[in-house]
Amino acid sequence: MRAVVSEIVFDCADPAALVRFWAALLGGEPVDRSPDWSYVDPPGFVRVAFQRVPEGKAAKNRLHLDLEGGDVATAAEEAVRLGASRVGDVVADAYGDFQVLRDPEGNEFCFVSG
């Protein structure tokens, strides 16, 4: 059996607020399906959904998104303007550049060079 990813779901405290951050970052219109479930269908990307859960984030994500956005430093600056926070500085290694960030609820993601 071969499965296809239909959406990536983030547990969160405030789906309506978090979907607006991610819609601004990825493109697409935020959709509030219910008070406990919101999503965005970014062009060229799998649906990203947000589900309210009662418990808060207690540890580092076991999964994160790596995003390409052109120049890593410029893309990270735009994400910060939208409400993200940086985790350290831009890192350059043999594979390219990357910047670790957190969304407004603390979920980690990265901007990476191609």
pLDDT tens by residue, 40-53? 999 989 999 999 99
Are the beta carbons of 100 and 65 closer than 8 angstroms? no
Q: What does the alpha-carbon distance between residue 91 and residue 96 come to, in Å, rounded to a whole number? A: 8
Task: Give the CB-side neighbour count of residue 77, counting CA atoms within 13 A.
Answer: 5
Mean pLDDT of 11-25: 96
Task: Report CA-CA distances (Å) from 104 to 39, 61, 114.
Answer: 16, 14, 25
Mean pLDDT of 56-79: 88
pTM above the 0.85 mark? Answer: yes
